[in-house]
Amino acid sequence: MVSNGLRDAGYQYVNVDDCWAVTRDPHTYELVPDPQAFPEGIKAVADYVHSKGLRFGIYTDRGYKTCAGRPASSGWEGVDAATFASWGVDYLKEDSCNADSVNHEVAFADYGRMRDALNATGRPILFSLCGWHDWYSPVGAALGNSWRISGDVNKWPSVYASAMINAELSANAGPGAWNDPDMLVGSSPAAAMYNTQEQSRTQFSLWAAMAAPLLIGSNVIGLTKYDLETYTNAEVIAVNQDALGEQATIIKDNCPERTLEQLQAWRDPARSLDELVAGSGGVPECTQVWAKPLSDGSAALVLINWSGPSTVVECDDACVRAAGVDAGTVSAYDLWEHRDLGVMDTVKVPVGADGASAMVRVSSAAGVARFAQGAVPRGALSAAVR
């Protein structure tokens, strides 16, 4: 992350996911790291990460064991929080396997115990809830700093489904508390799961506009040149990190109306989002325009062609006004091509086929359409080690 530029682009967390713990110490009851994977212990890893100017994250589960069957934190929240703090942990992801995921109040109470235990340590630790349900969103800010809103994102259909679920939840996100539509899927064919280059860039653009935590789920050591360029685009990252902290919403949409049954099925984390979307006809041939208001009065637009042949996606005067830019004409700037598109009354962009997109910043024609160059503010950006 240091040598490939991710740290300097703003990514600050290195997160270890499941399978790091093997048991509990019979005397202290602390979680014991796998001695083969971590022969010097977790604190040594955290210290090394800190020495590189980065922060360290770790994983647990609110159930009686983790998703991979390792020891979890149910009933041990105080011990585990104190242990994590003593190791120098800066970020905690708490999963929801092997726990009651039907009773909302039980789930909220479980996460509340870990929240309180983390706060009691006195160490600032970003708390990421991984409960996979949209019903965490209305109360998420009272429990942690981010919360998963859907099942796992893998292939393109699940990117679509997670985005559609998150579109309903924008009012619940804001500075310090974020809807989490899951990790970023890269485009490397060497990975277990991957999408096309165009689709992976669209996901990044949309996740940035949705003010989502930018969690790289790929092997950061072996990132392709294309994915590295995608994940380090300073102008797109600045949209994600904008101080206003608003989540993008859909302002123009010709996609089929999503039925209540579809949305309810997609919200079931026990089933594959990819399979569910395929079963409901697949990713539809349609286009959308998403808009994220920015703190200087401009807006970032993501113009998406979800499926089908190349097309032109437009955002006319009514669309631009829906984005919060009250002007008859706008100055437009392409955030991927890094060039001014000129002054126009309708933003009209050619977009490639099957998941391609464009990302354009628009402002009043009397204003400034491009980003000032300089340091990118740092927020919930991380590279996750799975």
Active-site entry in 110, 134, 152, 182 = 152
DSSP label of 145: S
Residue 231, C-beta contacts closer than 8 angstroms, at least 6 positions apart: 6, 9, 11, 184, 204, 214, 216, 223
Rounded to 5 degrees, φ, ψ at 98 are 55, 40
- One DSSP character per residue, 165-220 reads HHHTTGGG-BTTBEEE--PBP---TTSSS---HHHHHHHHHHHHHTT--EEE-S-G
User: Nearest 5 degrees, angle CA 167-CA 239-CA 131?
Assistant: 40
Output DSSP code: residue 65: B
Tell the residue number behind the tokens 């796992």, with chain if given.
152
Catalytically annotated residue among 95, 180, 227, 242: 95
Say if residues 10 and 379 touch (Cβ distance below 8 Å): yes
Q: Does 47 qualify as catalytic in the annotation? A: no
- Is 95 an annotated catalytic residue? yes
**CA-CA distance, 198 to 354, in Å (whole number)?**
8
316: Cα within 13 Å, side-chain hemisphere: 2
Active site members: 95, 152
